[in-house]
Amino acid sequence: MISTTGIAGFTLGGGVGWLVRKHGLTIDNLLSVELVTAEGKKVKASAEQNQDLFWGVKGGGGNFGVVTLFEYKLHQVGPVVFGGLLIFPFERAEEVLKVYGEWVRSVPDELSALSLFLIAPPIPPIPQHIQGKRVFAIGLCYADDLEEGARLVSLIKALNPAADLAGPIPYTVLQSMFDASAPRGINAYWKSLYLDELDKNVIGTLIQAGSSFRSPFTHLDLIYLEGAVKRKGAEESAFQHRDKRFLVHMNGNWMNKQEETENINWVRHTWETLSRYTQEAYYLNFTGEEGVDKVKAIYGKAYPKLQELKRKYDPTNLFRVNQNIKP
């Protein structure tokens, strides 16, 4: 959801974007890859060729080689979709988050929605009276009929957001909407987990976390999954967490060195507190430095099979500067 994100790492970790509920993860739309192995051999992997390797690169990260070519299945999108942001005062976060948690379960797969705690950036189209303030927002993308998109979003709009920035919008503009949160040179420390329910304890914890960061680049995201993600079987790729409902991203970002400790501590504390309400499972692309046990939880039940692949394609663990699968 940042337009400058590199597609290679994004894909190898799974790939969660605005179309995730309609078309699935990025790996679900991957047709083939070409990869250079630890031995320097160039191999192609697809559903017809080196199927084991193809399975492994779909969620196994950069553990098996350097991918030099990706081939994707494409979809017609837009060029205009119904999307954008609805921004609420932070004081209304509990009220709106409760409605959001119920509403997203009722919407069709064509509608993707995330909620987030952030400090509103001082840029257009954010209204000036909101800029620099702590807010709660809902991000939307309905990649189908615009009138139907407006109807589906009307329930949330009826909550009277402080800023209504949702409507017909070019998909490419929507895709760059959060670019201001990741300027060139930003420092980042991230963690993730999954949640299935938004009960009062979880909501209270999210609000506490959303109230306690100070960096204008830090944000706490709650991405609703299901839809096309859930329709794929766990055996079809190395990505195993298809039954999860919400992906939580603790996104600590800062520009100044003196803010580093504060942001890292915020991410760690938020992650530790929310971990009480979920089973151990994490998203590869939103993880930082993790121990062996946490890495195993990223890959879940796929880890033993991934180890076999690692022994086959990279037995000396040349490719190890990653969420590493030990041979």
Residue 117 neighbours by CB under 8 Å, 6+ apart: 90, 93, 134, 135, 136, 206, 207, 209, 210, 211, 219, 220
Per-residue pLDDT tens over the stretch 143-181:
999 999 999 999 999 999 999 999 999 999 999 998 888
Q: Where are the domains of the chain?
A: 7-75+302-313, 80-286
The residue ranges of the chain whose pLDDT is under 70 are none
| CATH number for the domain running over 7-75+302-313 | 3.30.465.10
- What is the rounded distance in angstroms from the CA atom of residue 323 to the CA atom of residue 63? 8
**pLDDT computed for residue 261 by the predictor:** 98
Strands (E), the chain: 30-36, 42-46, 66-72, 80-89, 111-119, 134-142, 163-170, 187-195, 219-224, 246-254
275: its two tokens:
């971990």
**What pLDDT score does 296 carry?**
93
d(CA 312, CA 51): 13
Output the pLDDT for position 22. Answer: 98
Note the pLDDT tens digit of each residue in 34-85.
Answer: 999 999 999 999 999 999 999 999 999 999 999 999 999 999 999 999 999 9
What is the per-residue pLDDT for 267?
Answer: 98
Question: What pLDDT, on a 0 to 100 scale, did the predictor assign at position 123?
Answer: 87
Q: What does the pLDDT read at residue 180?
A: 82
Question: Can you say how many angstroms the Cα of residue 181 is from the centroid of all Cα atoms in its chain?
Answer: 15
Nearest in space to 17 (alpha carbons), one of 282, 285, 316, 202: 285
pLDDT for 195 equals 97
* Per-residue model confidence (pLDDT) at position 69: 99
Same topology for domains 7-75+302-313 and 80-286, yes or no? no
Q: 80-89 and 163-170: which strand pairing?
A: antiparallel
pLDDT for the residue 54: 99
Contacts 24+ apart (CB under 8 A), 225-229: 225/16, 225/20, 225/21, 226/21, 226/109, 227/20, 227/21, 227/22, 227/24, 227/109, 227/112, 228/20, 228/21, 228/22, 228/23, 228/24, 228/28, 228/109, 229/20, 229/21, 229/24, 229/25, 229/28
What's the pLDDT at 235? 94
Q: What is the CATH number of domain 80-286?
A: 3.40.462.20
